Structure 1
Amino acid sequence: MKLAVALLLAPAAAYVPLRASMQRASTLVRADEEPEAMDLDLGEMFELFDEADPEGVAEREAAKKAEEEAAAKEAAKLAMMVEGASAPFGFWDPAGLSKLGTPATQAWFKAAELKHSRVAMAATVGWIVNEAGIVFDGNIATGVPFSSLGKGVQAWENVPDAGKLQIILAAGAIEFASEAKQPHYMRGGRPGQTAGPFGLRLWDPLNYNGGMDEETKRTKRQMEVNNGRLAMIGAASFVAASYIPDSVPALPSTW
């Protein structure tokens, strides 16, 4: 019986001197001085990790370099678009007008260009459709059928005054809606958003762009500006060809 008790108490007896020894060592350390703390910054910690895992250093450096290159390309792309350059060509505004004025002035320039682009695109499509002989049925006014208006600039001149007034008022309503959008595009808002009265969407009424991610929207906006700039050149060419026959070699002389 005594032997069994001795065997049971042997581990505890061995633990007591060991614990006392650890306490004495701890006391000696505190009596002398506090152990020096490891004060490492993030770079030094990464160096320790690299030393512990040398095989993964190259992979991490390659991944970091690829990430930095992707960020640099994205920053360059955004800077190019902010300055007025037009992807994919990478240049626009040779006179450097996009560098004039304050950020608010630049926002006004961008909003004006976008409005002119949209008007020019609508005008270009309408002009081509009209030149193709496609007109609305019925009358634009009492006794004035659409087919009698003619083509090009002459068609606008033949629109009754009341019709011209309605067109101008409609354009003014869209302009007012775009300027009333808050925050205003000259104070941090994004140009091109035209929310109409009673919740009407005067642009993209079917919310075609609603389900797109931001990257896709950015690409679509750049495409819109590109198409709008081309449409402005096209609309100006149509007007020039109307007043000066054969002034635009690419257009038929009948335009």
Structure 2
Amino acid sequence: MLKILLIVSLFAITSSFQTAPTAPLRSLPPLLAVETPNPELSTFTGAFIETGGRVWDPWGLSNWVPPSWAREAELANGRSAMLATVGWVWPKWFGAFPGFDDVTTVDPVGAIGQADPQWWAQFIVFCGVIEFNKYRAGQNGKNYLGETTGEPFYDPAGIFGRTPEAREKMAERELKNARLAMLGIASFVAGHFIPGSVPCLPPGF
């Protein structure tokens, strides 16, 4: 029996050093094949110098997922990440808000467990109200995806701009900050659970 195991192990080791045959591109799974991006992407904000002057879609995922849906998801997650980044950094620099005795830690992950359930209930209701108003605004022709046309869904300070050029610049800024925030909050979470995994991030941040 031992000889059989040794022979099988030797075969497995030698096989692992053999060069695997290169499969043609058409035989790859659809989501791994590099395909021509959807032409609809050319109408989207995001053709920056960092991405070679075109909307970045190296895997051609826009051929499998509606580009408008993907952009909506990207901005929604990016906006959430911007808020999450502020929520992560604020208590570490300025401490917790006074008057909230339930939360006694400035550790964002630890604070999740200390928060009163009614806070989470209020938060869920708040998010639902925002989503309902976004839907109603979309039905009325307003935009919430950073488009340069149409009136914005929510812009009380008027920072979105009134000219196409100003709106294009603001849309680019929001998209870049959203992407940066997603990377930022991911690095904070990684550094929290795997200390030392993020270069230049202070221990315990």
TM-score (norm 1): 0.54
**How far does the alpha carbon of each residue in 1:127-179 deviate from its partner, in whole angstroms, 9 at most, with x for none?**
1112214321212xxx52x5x14312111221111111111221121122212
Change (3 A) 1:115 1:93: same
Give the match for residue 134 of structure 2: 178
**2: distance between equivalents of 1:253 and 1:154?**
16
What SS does structure 1 have at the residue aligned with 2:72?
A: helix
Structure 1 position 250 matched with structure 2 position 203: no
Structure 1 position 204 matched with structure 2 position 155: yes
**2: distance between equivalents of 1:84 and 1:98?**
14
Give the match for residue 237 of structure 1: 187
Give how far 1:81 is off: 5.4
Q: Which amino acid aligns with 2:126?
A: A
Structure 1 position 128 matched with structure 2 position 89: yes
Which of the pair is proportionally richer in helix?
1
Q: How does 1:1-255 map to 2 (within 5 A)?
A: 82=43, 85-91=46-52, 92-101=56-65, 105-139=66-100, 143-144=101-102, 146=103, 148-183=104-139, 190-192=143-145, 203-209=154-160, 211-255=161-205
**2: distance between equivalents of 1:135 and 1:204?**
29
**2: distance between equivalents of 1:180 and 1:171?**
14
Aligned length: 159
Change (3 A) 1:133 1:116: same
Q: Which amino acid aligns with 1:192?
A: L
Change (3 A) 1:153 1:93: farther
Is the contact between residue 121 and residue 228 of structure 1 (CA under 8 Å) also seen in structure 2?
yes
Is the contact between residue 80 and residue 86 of structure 1 (CA under 8 Å) also seen in structure 2?
no
Q: Which sections of structure 2, spanning at least 5 residues, go unmatched?
A: 1-39, 147-151
TM-score (norm 2): 0.66
Between the aligned residues of both structures, percent identity stands at 33
